[in-house]
């Protein structure tokens, strides 16, 4: 019933198991942004904490700062290599011409859309009408208005989370309806310590054209993936998350034919 990620064949083997999974979805017609495009990165959500022996994550401002700096630098470097023009907005009031409330509304709709994508594309509760059709969600005219007001071509929503000194986390189990009504009642995916996702919205159409989740779990303390506090680790995460962006199905088929 459940499919294992490709890389997770590793998990089946020996004691030192580790598991990194990514799976991208894209609009069939999606082509990688190229040439000189303007990319808006909205309020990257970065958290790094220290996992204490009791299993608590103690938030560490200094580590989070480091990670955020590294992620942003990695993002800039990666996008520069592709020729894009990147702007990162940290606070809602930093986008000229757009009211905070407007931006908040777009983010909230994006949240609901992203939840839906994860639920229906990644967690197995697929919608038959969307099966095999790549990514079929949109933010609608509010995102298009955002693009028109600001002149950006794409918006990237980014979340990165890491806790150092890995430990298995308690499985969510059944939290009860009350917990699940709130936002997203998400299963704790194994012993995930690094969970990053990104979604790319085309601001000309409002559509979510590309989505990826990187879930890096280490079952054994000491094995770390893409440690966000180091520039290399952050670059690795960005590369895994965004760098290996593939064009949509229809485009790939067309290219294969050529």
Partner 1 sequence: MCGHCLELTRRSLLAGGGAAIAAFQTGVANARVRPADMVPLVGPGFKPTDKDEQGLWEEMDRVEEEIAGSNLLVDDPKLSGYLRELIGTVGGPAAKDFRIYLARIPDFNAMMFPTGFAVVFSGLLLRMRNEAQLAGVIAHESGHFLRRHMIRSWRDQRRKTDIFSIGAMLAGVGGAGAGVYLGDYVQLAQLGTILSLFKYSRDMESEADAMGAKLIAEAGYDPMEASNVWLQLIGEEKASAAYRGKHRQRGSLFDTHPSDDARMADLRADALELKVPGRIYDNHRARYLATLGSFRQTLLDDQVKLNDPGASEYLIETLAQDGWDGLLRFYEGEVWRLRNRKGDDIRAAQSYAAAVVYPDAPADAWRWHGITLLKAGRTGEAKAAFAKYLTMKPNAPDAAWVRQMIG
Partner 2 sequence: MKRFSTVALLAAALGISGCSSLGAGESGFSAYSAVNVHRTKVGNGNMTVVPPRPWNRHRAVLFDDVPAVEDWTLNGPYLDGVTFITGLKSGHFMVRQRRSTDQQVPKFRSDMTPPEIAAMLESLYRVRGGAVDFHTLSIQPRAFLGTNGFQFDYEHLDDDELWRKGRAVGAVVNGQLYLIMFDAARSHYYDAALPDFEAIVASARLRA
- Interface residues with partner 2 (CB under 8 A) are 1-6, 8, 11, 17, 19, 21-23, 104-105, 108-109, 111-113, 115-116, 119-132, 136-142, 171-177, 180-190, 192, 206, 213, 215, 217, 219
Pick from partner 2, partner 1, none: which does 23 bind, CB < 5 to 8 A by kind? partner 2
- What mask, x for binding partner 1 by CB under 8 A, covers residues 98 to 137? --xx--x--xx-xx--xx--x---xx--------------
Beta bridge partners of 218: 18
Shortest distance (Å) from residue 208 CB to partner 1 = 13
DSSP designation for 171: P
Shortest distance (Å) from residue 36 CB to partner 1 = 28
Integer Cα distance of 19 and 22 in angstroms: 10
Q: Tell which positions 22-81 bind partner 1, by CB under 8 A.
A: 45, 47, 49, 52, 54-62, 64
Q: Tell which positions 159-218 bind partner 1, by CB under 8 A.
A: 159, 161, 163, 169-172, 175, 179, 182-189, 192, 195, 197, 213
State which residue, 187 or 221, has the beta carbon closest to partner 2: 187
Cβ-proximal residues to 258 (8 Å cutoff; 6+ apart), any chain: none
Integer Cα distance of 36 and 85 in angstroms: 7
DSSP codes joined into one string, 227-253: -TTSHHHHHHHHIIIIIT----HHHHH
Residue 84: CB atoms within 10 Å: 19
Beta bridge partners of 192: 217
Shortest distance (Å) from residue 35 CB to partner 2 = 29
Cβ-proximal residues to 37 (8 Å cutoff; 6+ apart), any chain: 83, 84, 85, 153, 154
Residue with tokens 């690094």: 194
DSSP codes joined into one string, 207-225: EEEEEEEEEEEESSTT--S
The residue ranges that bind partner 1 (CB under 8 A) are 45, 47, 49, 52, 54-62, 64, 91-92, 100-101, 104, 107-108, 110-111, 114-115, 118, 122-123, 157, 159, 161, 163, 169-172, 175, 179, 182-189, 192, 195, 197, 213
């Amino acid at each position: 019933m459940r499919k294992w990620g490709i890389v997770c064949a590793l998990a089946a083997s020996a004691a030192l198991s580790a598991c990194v999974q990514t799976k991208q979805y894209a609009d069939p017609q999606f082509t990688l942004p190229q040439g000189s495009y303007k990319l808006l990165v909205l309020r990257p959500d970065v958290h790094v904490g220290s996992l204490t022996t009791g299993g608590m994550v103690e938030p560490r401002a200094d580590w989070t700062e480091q990670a955020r700096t590294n992620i942003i630098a990695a993002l800039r470097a990666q996008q520069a290599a592709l020729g894009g023009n990147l702007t990162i907005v940290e606070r809602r009031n930093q986008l000229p011409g757009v009211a905070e409330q407007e931006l908040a509304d777009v983010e909230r709709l994006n949240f609901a859309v992203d939840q839906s994508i994860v639920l229906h594309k990644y967690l197995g509760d697929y919608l038959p009408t969307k099966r095999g059709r790549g990514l079929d969600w949109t933010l609608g005219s509010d995102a298009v208005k955002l693009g028109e007001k600001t002149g950006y071509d794409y918006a990237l929503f980014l979340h990165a989370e890491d806790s150092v000194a890995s430990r298995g986390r308690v499985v969510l189990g059944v939290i009860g309806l009350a917990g699940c009504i709130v936002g997203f009642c998400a299963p704790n995916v194994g012993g995930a310590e690094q969970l990053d996702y990104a979604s790319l919205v085309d601001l000309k159409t409002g559509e979510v054209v590309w989505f990826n989740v990187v879930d890096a779990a280490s079952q054994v303390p000491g094995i770390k993936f893409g440690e966000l506090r180091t520039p290399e680790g952050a670059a690795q995460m960005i590369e895994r998350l965004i760098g290996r962006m593939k064009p949509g199905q229809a485009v790939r088929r067309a290219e294969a034919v050529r």
